[in-house]
């Protein structure tokens, strides 16, 4: 991304605005200084309710514990690169409850596609937001 890490970080750390630029993030509610509820829906008609607990908010690493319909962790890594920012998203999550994960195992390719669509929405939306938004 042709934007400095601090600028990208400012957008990513502001969970409350995610629904404005990431179409698959349908709603966010702050539950405390380090906690938030996030509702997501990608292409499949399936809503995920997630509870996030911030573990790191540094410019280099935004990391949260994830609970709810998914259980694990998610992180954004921001690295200066080529006059801009290299942005990597990593997550290690399991579908909860376990019986549902087991039942959906045959649909793994479909679920991966759904997740790829969600992340595509993130990339497109974040680029548009960064291009059109003036940060203080």
Peptide bond into 136 cis (omega under 30): no
Task: Determine the pLDDT at residue 105.
Answer: 86
> β-pairing, 70-81 with 25-30?
unpaired
Over its C-alpha atoms, the chain yields an Rg (Å, rounded) of 15
Does residue 136 register a pLDDT over 70? no
Does residue 46 register a pLDDT over 70? yes
CA distances (Å), origin 38, targets 2, 68, 130: 28, 10, 21
CB neighbours of residue 30 within 10 Å: 11
Does residue 134 register a pLDDT over 60? no
Q: What is the pLDDT of residues 51-69, one digit of tens each?
A: 999 999 999 999 999 999 9
> β-pairing, 70-81 with 48-57?
unpaired
Q: Tell me the CATH class for 5-132.
A: alpha beta
Task: Determine the pLDDT at residue 95.
Answer: 87
Domain ranges of the chain: 5-132
Look at the block and give the residue holding tokens 């087991």. 102
Task: Determine the pLDDT at residue 99.
Answer: 79
Could you write out the DSSP letters of every residue in 10-63?
HHHT-GGGHHHH-TTEEEEEE-SSSEEEEEE--SSS--EEEEEEEEEE-SSEEE
Q: What is the pLDDT of residues 72-126, one digit of tens each?
A: 999 999 999 999 999 999 999 998 878 777 888 888 999 999 999 999 999 999 9
Does residue 135 register a pLDDT over 70? no
Between vectors from CA 10 to CA 53 and to CA 46, what angle results, nearest 5°? 50
Between vectors from CA 132 to CA 44 and to CA 7, what angle results, nearest 5°? 90
């Amino acid at each position: 991304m042709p934007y400095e890490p601090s600028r990208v970080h400012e957008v990513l750390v502001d969970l409350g605005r995610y629904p404005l630029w990431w179409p698959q993030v349908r709603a966010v509610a702050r539950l405390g200084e380090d906690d938030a509820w996030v509702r997501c829906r990608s292409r499949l008609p399936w809503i995920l309710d997630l509870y996030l607990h911030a573990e790191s908010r540094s410019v280099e690493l935004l990391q949260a514990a994830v609970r709810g319909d998914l259980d694990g962790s998610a992180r954004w890594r921001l690295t200066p690169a080529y006059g801009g920012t290299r942005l990597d998203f990593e997550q290690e999550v399991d579908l909860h409850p376990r019986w549902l994960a087991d039942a959906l195992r045959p649909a793994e390719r479909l679920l991966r596609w759904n997740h790829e669509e969600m992340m595509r929405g993130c990339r497109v939306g974040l680029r548009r937001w960064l291009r059109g938004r003036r940060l203080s």
